[in-house]
Amino acid sequence: MKILYQSIVFALVILTTHKSYPNDEPVYFTDKNQEQRYYLLIEEIRCLVCQNQSLADSNAPLAQDLRNEIFKMIKSEKSNNQITEFLVERYGDFVLYRPPLNDNTWLLWFGPFLFLIIAITTAIIFIKKQSQNNTIDN
């Protein structure tokens, strides 16, 4: 029940934040490199108020504010690291769609390749074993 209540409240919160008007003012860069970095960054930062959308994909006012913030930081020559650090300090790792590699995420990043190695090795051992058991019958 508690979670249900919270969900309703959150729905309210999310609805109400949509109330203020979006400002979809395009941003302009003179530096091609900065422009690329901007679009890449807003693709990889999560919009917190939305269900599961990046800043680039969201119309929520907070997403627009954060896009603006990122725009300003890029213009003032901040590095990608400085920008993501700025956001993580305020909102936590949750904002990063590309989780940083650390003690908590090594399994996430290397897991797939671990699966791959284990799976292929097991398969090869299995094949070798079954082909040695008997000679190939035709």
Site for other proteins in 106-135 (CB under 8 A): 107-109, 111-113, 115-116, 119-120, 123-124, 126-128, 130-131, 133-135
Among residues 18 and 79, whose Cβ is nearest to other proteins? Answer: 18
Binders of other proteins in range 62-101 (CB under 8 A): 62, 65-66, 69, 88-99
Task: Find all residues with CB under 8 Å of 119, minimum gap 6, and list them.
Answer: none
The smaller minimum CB distance to other proteins, of residues 52 and 77, is found at 52
Count of alpha carbons within 13 Å of 119, Cβ hemisphere only?
Answer: 6
| Per rule CB under 8 A, count of chain residues that contact other proteins | 75
Does 15 engage in binding with other proteins (CB under 8 A)?
yes
Which amino acid is it at 8?
A: I
CA 117 to chain centre: 26
E strand spans, 43-127: 46-47, 53-54
| CA distance linking residue 105 with residue 89, whole number of Å | 18
Residues within window 20-59 making contact with other proteins, judged by CB under 8 A:
20, 22-27, 43-44, 46, 48-54, 56-57, 59
